[in-house]
A and B are shown apart, each in its own frame.
Chain A
């Protein structure tokens, strides 16, 4: 608990606070705050997913489903039944938690590719439900008319207001998750990742911890989904498809599996690449995207989070060469 590096988090928080101001000063990046809202929303998912994958060592190719569950519960209950948006958010998280526990309990007994397939199947099944239950979800064309968020009459109706709302939650989730990692729970998770039989022999209740982390990551994804729905005022199933689940994996892999910082960097990089920077390549965009991804996996096996280590390694080698 004591070893939390407070300084980097403070610097990061400061950066988040001043970012919209910077973006406003430079016309060329005026829309970056808008993109950062989505980075924040996706960070909520990848922070949880990174705990699940990087620390507990459990793969999931189905997290788009939890993202979608949050979005659709918020969307349907507020747009069709006029319920309070914050209450719907909590309902969404509860439902996501229950679903995660029900799916996770049998699935997390599976290993490796079998777990990957099980979560992938779960994700596709949920996607099909979004597509098919047209009465509720509006089907493939999606549902519109989802209201924005407000609290005590304060409307989160501009890009910047929503930005601060979302990033406030991201920072809270971040600090909480880092705390978890540095607590006994975090040690238990790492033990599970290293060797399940060994962890079990040490008295770690392996399956309970795995399900707990799975549920936690699902709840965060559901929260992200609610924020997404209220920001766009619209949702459709293709946002929550298999390819989004894979994109989440890519964000985590790119950032570095074993670091929450990596997850945030990977999320930011992939989001900006696919929503803004690669736009200039037009038809080549998809190829450039693939090439960047391949280069990172080949050159940086530990992702962006591994860059400092590599730089240090160069430096050390240089020093030893000089000797």
Chain B
């Protein structure tokens, strides 16, 4: 084997960082949908990703459903779970404070994790890659073709959601719920339905993330918490509520981890990313693309 050049190494770190970061960004986008409507951070977001992966494994590998059918079926199932979470839990909380809602989502994530360990056991599962496993070579660096699927879906989701929230009536109505729920319902917006819709949407996005990353990273019942923490970091770094921010935040965190591991010290790679996150927050308290004015209105 010939020695890899420094330039190729650096390129590999960048590619690895961006690909890993795109997974975090995917989770961050899911966080933002619910945040935009309710101001809460849904800590069960990581569990949607886990469920997406494992349900896909069940339908595609165990039941033998073709990819083209299993993919939408998985999204529908996870979306139904997202709707159930809202209908069975979140909606029934009386005089919800943001903090109680967060604890409720933590409770939900514990329950989902427990159920998943029952259904699927504790071992990791694999999913065949959508377009094979032969890595693509770019100037001495390599990338798994599956990552193009992850990045592709990420970009589509972010653009679609940005348009949805900024340009459509329903999207605007949803955002209005977060700014002032009472005023929103006064002008005839059905706040409860909007919250329900946000849970459904973010569950769907979580499912897509889970389905696309499982062929690369495998999936097991307790992966959700780690994804939630990284995704939360990405969302905060980019500025809560901002979809381009979520992508930017995810990619930055992924890249710092990768360059940190490659060039400095791999044991501390997660710490590097968090230190940078802290420093950025201290200078820009609303994240990179978050708006200070908007964050001032928010209750939380």
Contact = CB atoms under 8 A, between A and B. Distances in A.
Partners in one complex: yes
Interface of A: 53, 59, 106-107, 109-114, 116-118, 120-122, 124-125, 128-129, 131-132, 242-243, 246, 249-250, 253, 257, 283-284, 286-287, 289-291, 293-294, 297-298, 301
A294 B101 CA distance: 10
Contact of A301 (B93, B108, B278, B300): B93
A117 B281 contact: yes
| Chain B interface helix/strand/loop/mixed | helix
Contacts of A253: 99-100, 103
Contacts of A106: 278, 282
Given A59-B99, A283-B118, A298 B275 contact: no
11 contacts: A53-B99, A59-B99, A107-B278, A111-B298, A124-B229, A128-B271, A243-B225, A286-B110, A297-B100, A298-B89, A301-B100
A284 B114 CA distance: 7
Contacts of B171: none
Interface in B83-141: 89, 92-100, 103-104, 106-111, 113-115, 117-118
Given A242-B229, A290-B108, A293-B103, 9 more contacts: A113-B300, A118-B281, A253-B99, A253-B100, A286-B113, A290-B107, A291-B107, A298-B94, A301-B100
B257 to A, nearest CB: 12
A283 B100 CA distance: 27
A113 B97 contact: no
Contacts of A128: 267-268, 270-271
A294 B89 contact: yes
A13 B98 CA distance: 34
A55 to B, nearest CB: 13
Residue from the set A110, A242, A287, A294 with the largest chain B CB neighbour count within 10 Å:
A294
A117 B232 contact: yes
A294 B104 contact: yes
A289 B110 contact: yes
Contacts of B229: 120, 124, 242
A123 to B, nearest CB: 10
Given A112-B98, A125-B271, A117 B285 contact: no
A110 B278 CA distance: 11
B295 interface: yes
A293 B101 CA distance: 12
Contacts of B99: 53, 59, 253, 257
A113 B267 CA distance: 27
B75 interface: no
A85 to B, nearest CB: 30
A101 to B, nearest CB: 15
A270 to B, nearest CB: 12
Contacts of A110: 281, 285
A294 B93 CA distance: 9
A293 B112 CA distance: 13
A291 B110 CA distance: 9
A115 to B, nearest CB: 9
A265 to B, nearest CB: 16
A293 to B, nearest CB: 4
Contacts of A122: 274, 278
B287 interface: yes
| Chain A interface helix/strand/loop/mixed | helix
A125 B274 contact: yes
Interface residues on B, range: 35 or more
A114 B290 CA distance: 11
A287 B96 CA distance: 23
Contacts of B282: 106-107, 109
Contacts of B41: 113, 116
A213 B231 CA distance: 30
Nearest to A119: B278
A132 B104 contact: no
A246 B286 CA distance: 23
B117 A286 contact: yes
A291 B88 CA distance: 12
Contacts of B82: none
A71 to B, nearest CB: 20
Given A114-B236, A114-B287, A297-B100, A287 B111 contact: yes
B233 interface: yes
Contacts of A293: 103, 106-107, 110
B147 to A, nearest CB: 26
B110 A112 contact: no
Contacts of B278: 106-107, 118, 121-122
A187 to B, nearest CB: 21
A294 B111 contact: yes
B240 interface: yes
Contact of A121 (B96, B268, B274): B274
A286 B113 CA distance: 8
B300 A121 contact: no
A243 B226 CA distance: 11
B248 interface: no
Given A242-B229, A286-B113, A124 B274 contact: yes
B208 interface: no
Residue from the set B98, B225, B300 with the largest chain A CB neighbour count within 10 Å:
B300
Contact of A294 (B94, B108, B271, B287): B108
A297 B104 contact: yes
Interface string B270-284: 110011011001100
